A and B are shown apart, each in its own frame.
Chain A
Amino acid sequence: MLGVFQTSQKLRTSLRLLSRAGLPPVDLQVQLLLRGRSPQSATFSRELHLGPDGPASSPAAAPRRLPFSRVTVEDLTFFGKTLPGRAITDPDLVQSSNEDWLKSVRGSSEVLLRPQTTQEVSQILSYCHSRNLAVNSQGGNTGLVGGSVPVYDEIILSTSLMNSILSFDKISGILTCQAGCVLENLSLYLEERDYIMPLDLGAKGSCQIGGNVATNAGGLRLLRYGSLHGTVLGLEVVLADGRVLDCLSTLRKDNTGYDLKQLFIGSEGTLGVITAVSILCPRKPKSVNVVFLGCETFDQLLKTFQLCKGMLGEILSAFEFLDSECMRLLNTHLKLANPISDCPFYIVIETSGSDSDHDSQKLHNFLEEAMTSLLVTDGTVATEESKIKTLWSMRERVTEALTHDGFTYKYDISLPVERIYQLVTDMREHLGKRARSVVGYGHVGDGNLHLNVTSPAKDPALLASIEPFIYEWTAKFQGSISAEHGLGLKKRNYIYYSKSRPAVAVMGKMKTLLDPKGILNPYKTLPDDLK
């Protein structure tokens, strides 16, 4: 019924009426699963995921709208006065912020606010808290689990204009900046000063550091520099009632009381709005090498990883993999040629060090060993910037290639490293001809698999075959159903596959403590059965 989206008055009115009725407006990916599901999986699901609408709705679909206030003319006047020229209600401008990057979920917010300072964020939240208005904080809107866009008419609070770098200490490498700085811009700023950001991801051209911290983004460099839980030194957060929590320390070590910032890292905007970040940045490596290798079996790939850690150890900065299906998609849809011969598995290894002579020697020894012991059947090395970019794009552009292959179902799983590819083979067998492509790729060095399934069009029956099969498989091996993408809207009710009930109950208590009215990013991250 809501297949085509035009910003016509009629449609908007009907949308408003529908959302008033409490029905989920649009969750394109998971409309009416019920028909496709086997009775057995429905029962299992019912036990774990009692949604407020009962067993009739899917765990990923949005729940009914909670009784928040609706935006009035008085509210708009306040916003207009607090943020002159930056309280946007023009539907054409608000539209793109209502829909996620994958075009899989869309909200019906009518207000987009763009503060420039922490003070403005504080004023907005204080007001919304008093008026019981729901707020959706939004950075670069590159999230993949429907967490960055409104579900209903939540006010969108964008950090895009909070893009100033506040300070950079050349000696310690500590960068302090506002939450809306785009990751790539921070990288360029640092590279000129001989430093780099401790994280890097495909979305770097659009994602903002506040969003990265709120989702505890992982990325391609985690293997070397660790997670944001380690590299973030301080945060400035505005709480649900507008109070500013200044934990923007730039100290490497500070054991004075509970480390509050850790709560907000990965909280997906549900405990507070991050407005500034101080982060520890590593020095820019003088010597970077990228190696693209081909392996016959996943077992050989794992052995290569072992060899790599042993012989390259301290200079290893990335270890990624992709399978032959990914290569096929890159060749077909993006016309990217395979740099080496066709193999079942491909590895991208990156080394970063301070001495190119030493690193080339280490790399040469490793490659010689890998080849003579037949762990690797083919490969190529790049030391030049331009070639390095080309080899990396083989891994970084798989996501893009998938979008050209049809409708994509994306999964981001953490598993014991030995089991990673077994999930892909089992899924292929399980789905058979129903799926167009089933591909596996990702941060194998971190035990993180990106499993994607494509079909010509959205297919509820296919989805019913994938879920909860994939989550049950993951839970069986004590893995994580969301390694780095977070829970957002789509995966909130699957949390019990990876976390125990007591743990989730404590999470619920924290949420109540910091956001008693529940106005920050409602309907997300925590499961619906926590009331």
Chain B
Amino acid sequence: MPGYSEFYFNVDHGYLEGLVRGFKAGILTSADYVNLAQCETLEDLKLHLQTTDYGNFLANETGPLTISTIDDKLKAKLLTEFHYFRNHAFEPLATFLNFITYSYMIDNVILLITGTLHQRPIAELVPKCHPLGSFEQMEAVSIASNPTELFNAILVDTPLAAFFQDCLSENDLDEMNIEIMRNKLYKSYLEAFYKFCEKQGGTTAEIMRPILEFEADRRAFIITINSFGTELSKDDREKLYPTCGKLYPEGLHLLANADDYEQVKCVADYYAEYKAVFEGVGSGTGEKTLEDAFFEHEVKLNVLAFNNQFHFGVFYAYVKLKEQECRNIVWIAECISQRHRTKINNYIPIF
């Protein structure tokens, strides 16, 4: 009965949905950001954050405040909340929440492999991983020398194994291959997540569809733009595009054949929302970058998720919005500590 989920949704997921909506009310508003942006020192920032839902999450920090401690604490708070959701979730919400963590797991794996490639000690790399995507075998990733070994020895036990089918090869792990592997993993992940949401049907699918489609298209755009000037062939490039977006199939073909930024922009012109995104990008300093424009659009889509009830999209949206909030706070903190006040307003307000 996918169409009638609202009748029994609350039986299993009502508590968590209520909770996530409560947490959502604690997301910083633009008024909070204005206050934060006026701070002179990190101590002031801490004082201001104390008046918000973050409370005294930095209260027991002894010693001088650094941006990395702020970042860690912000992430730790999100992690606590997320683990609470995950521990209280029933199926299929549990799987849905797992899917959210997979993207962080992919990032962590890639980060560790790249780090090992550059001969960094593993102890230095692990703290840089996103805590949402940590898993037991994570640190063992560094012993693998090629993708097949990585898969057979380490990742076969993890949920990521399912996404690995496409990237099994005997190639050595060099920077290019790692990047290709990341994108292939991401593509499989997005497609699987998309399929999962479609299977849920109802409002969940309705809400998650635009969000995931946008995510897929954003990756396609970014892969294309980043591949200019590298030795990636156009055919290979096309294989990396996630196929669950709005661009599929015609847009992806066009993107695959694009040669420079202008052509990418031409492709985007065929799609109303992406046209708006690309038009918002400025080239001068102090103006929005393409990344920021994409983030802004993502925030807009995620905020929309809260307009509907009885669906899982709110959890995804909450994690993403909270992540954006962490980025914003860290950005403001960076600007404060580097005395770079001109760019302090380049954060992306959420509400």
Q: Do A and B bind each other?
A: no
Give residues in B with beta carbon < 8 Å to A: none
Give residues in A with beta carbon < 8 Å to B: none
